[in-house]
Homo-oligomer: A and B are copies of this chain.
Amino acid sequence: MARERKFSNEELFQTVKKMLLQHGYEGFHFGLLAEQLDISRGALYKYYENKDELITDFMLYEMQIFIGDLAQIENQGDFEAQFDFLMKLIFDKAEVHQLITVVKQMGSSSNEKAKENKEQLEKLPLEMYRYLQNFISFGKREGKLKEHIPDSVILGLIFQSIAIPNHFGLPKGVWVNSIKEIISKGMFAHS
């Protein structure tokens, strides 16, 4: 009944991700995207009214995958296993984190659908927080995590650790293990 599409949703979102990481929110535009997908700019308007609607839609997709993965933390057994799982997840999905800054750069957008998407997006951190809160409570309850450090600092530091630049190109294993060691036991030698 209809003509075949020249690009899949999967292709579209992958290209959007690449473009956003490369050019940031303000440098991202339909011309660039259309060129990468080898279609005309006009074709994109068949699916999205504007940039913000497309970006929020993409972010929703990306975040839902991330949360789906995160949900698996509950099946990981003891606290150490959960900690390892979380660190692995974060390092495997390093880009998700940089993408979050993109949403913050969006103004109050013109389009209705984009606003809806944005509202949806704002709910997701709460959903994430549920899993992470459980993880931390579990750790504290078991006496594995220091009681007196605020949960938000623990979470913040874990999440931020993915953004540390590996300038000297250390092998990933060494890299991740070093970061895990500092976060869990500190960089100071035992006195």
Q: A26 is contacted by which of B24, B143, B188 (Cβ under 8 Å)?
A: B24
Task: Identify the closest chain B residue to A25 (Cβ).
Answer: B24
Task: Identify the closest chain B residue to A159 (Cβ).
Answer: B164
Q: A164 is contacted by which of B149, B160, B179 (Cβ under 8 Å)?
A: B160
Q: Within the complex, what minimum Cβ distance (angstroms) separates A124 from chain B?
A: 14
Q: A153 is contacted by which of B152, B159, B163, B182 (Cβ under 8 Å)?
A: B182
The residues in A between 136 and 170 inclusive whose CB is less than 8 angstroms from any CB of B are 143-147, 149-150, 152-154, 156-157, 159-161, 163-168, 170
The yes or no answer to A175 lying at the interface (CB within 8 A) is yes
A-to-B contact residues, CB < 8 Å: 23-27, 105, 143-147, 149-150, 152-154, 156-157, 159-161, 163-168, 170, 174-175, 178-179, 181-189
